[in-house]
Amino acid sequence: MVELWAEKSALISGEEHNYGILNLCNSGCGVSLFLVVNGLENGQMWTDHRAYDLGIYPTNEDEFGSATRISFLDWYEKWLDHSIDEIKRQP
C-alpha cells in the first residue's frame, strides 16, 4: 500500500503541475485549495482533489451554500467570516 501511494504521489505532485497557482490552504485529507495567478483562470479558486482521484476542478460556493464558482475575494471574505464566527463561539 505504501508503494502504491508513493507511485501515485509521484504522478500527481510534480512541480510541472504547480505553475501559475498559489496554494492557499489544506482542507484536510489531502484536499487543497489554490488560487490561479496566471492565464484565463486568473483570480479564480480551484480545488485539488487528486488524492481521491477526483481531479482538479473550479472551487464553487457549494461549500458555502451555492453552486456558483468563487473568486479569491469572495472565498477570502467567506473564510474570514467563518473564522470570526468560530472565534466568537469560543468561551
pLDDT confidence of residue 17: 62
In this prediction, residue 66 has a pLDDT band, given cuts at 50, 70 and 90, of: low
Higher pLDDT, 19 or 47: 47
pLDDT at 67 over 80: no
- Average confidence (pLDDT) over 19-38: 85
Grouping H, G, I as helix, E, B as strand and the rest as coil, residue 45 is strand
Can you give the pTM of this predicted structure?
0.69
DSSP label of 70: -
Quickly tell me which residue has 510534480 as its cell. Answer: 14
Count the helices and strands in the chain (H runs, E runs). Answer: 2, 4
- Residues with Cβ within 8 Å of 22's Cβ and at least 6 positions away in sequence, in order, are 34, 35, 37
pLDDT confidence of residue 84: 94
pLDDT at 13 over 70: no
